[in-house]
Amino acid sequence: MTVRFFSFGEGSMVDTFYAIGLVMRLCQSISLLELLHIYVGIEPNHLFPRFLQLTERIIILFVVITSQEEVQEKYVVCVLFIFWNLLDMVRYTYSMLSVIGISYAILTWLSQTLWMPIYPLCVLAEAFAIYQSLPYFESFGTYSAKLPFDLSIYFPYVLKIYLMMLFIGMYYTYSHLYSERRDILRVFPFKKKKM
C-alpha cells in the first residue's frame, strides 16, 4: 500500500492554464497599474526596471501562451504561474504595507531576497516557453505577415530576437534589484542577537 501526501497528476499541471489562465491574464493586466503608481509617486520604485518585468510577463502570457493552445498545455506554464505568483504575493504585500507605513523585518528581507533565486528561474522558464512555442508559431504562421514590396515579418525570428533581449533585460533588472536590495537592507533597522 502506497500513501501519497502530495500528488500532481498528469492533468493537474497540464490544465493549469485552463483552470486559472483567465485570472492570470486579468491580474497581469491590472499589474500594469503599478507603472502608473510609480509614475505618479505612490510607489517609490524605478519605472524602467519594473516596465521590463511587466513587459516580459505580458509578452509571455498574452503573445506566447494565450495565442498558442498547444503551449497552454505545457508544464512550463504551471511553473511560470507558480514563480510569478510567489514573487508577486511577497512583493505586493511588502509594497502595500510600505505605502501605509507598516514594515516587518522578515517581510522586508523576504521581499528583497526571494527574487534573487526566483527571478532568474522565471526568465529561464519564460525562455523555455518561447522555445517550446517556436514550432507552433512556425507551423501555424501566427503573427507572421506578408508586407508590401516583398517584405514579410516571420514571427519566429521576432521571438528569437526577443529571446536574446530577454536575457539582456534580465541582467539589467537583476543588477538594479540587487543595488536596490543593498540600499534597502543597509538602512533597515534589523536587530542583531547578542552572543
pLDDT of residue 144: 84
pLDDT tens string, the chain, 195 residues long: the values are: 444 444 455 556 778 888 898 999 999 999 999 999 999 988 888 899 999 999 999 999 999 999 999 999 999 999 999 999 999 999 999 988 988 889 899 999 999 999 999 999 999 999 999 999 999 999 988 888 887 887 788 999 999 999 999 999 999 999 999 999 998 888 765 555 554
Residue of 73, 75, 119, 180 marked catalytic: 119
DSSP helix, strand, coil percent of the chain (3-state; round to 5): 75, 5, 25
- Residue 30: CA count within 13 A, CB half-sphere: 8
pLDDT of residue 46: 87
pLDDT of residue 119: 94
pLDDT of residue 72: 92
Residue of 34, 56, 126, 162 marked catalytic: 126
Q: Give the C-alpha distances (Å, rounded to integers) separating 95 from 17, 42, 114, 127.
A: 27, 10, 14, 28
Active-site residue, 34 included: no
Q: Phi and psi dihedrals of 40, rounded to 5?
A: -85, -5
| Domain extent listing, the chain | 1-187
Q: Among all chains, which residue has been given the C-alpha cell 508559431?
A: 137
Active-site residue, 75 included: no
| Element of type H or E holding 173 | helix 155-187
Contact 20, 8 (CB under 8 A): no
Q: Write the pLDDT tens digit of every residue in 112-125.
A: 999 999 999 999 99
Q: Write the pLDDT tens digit of every residue in 84-109.
A: 999 999 999 998 898 888 989 999 99
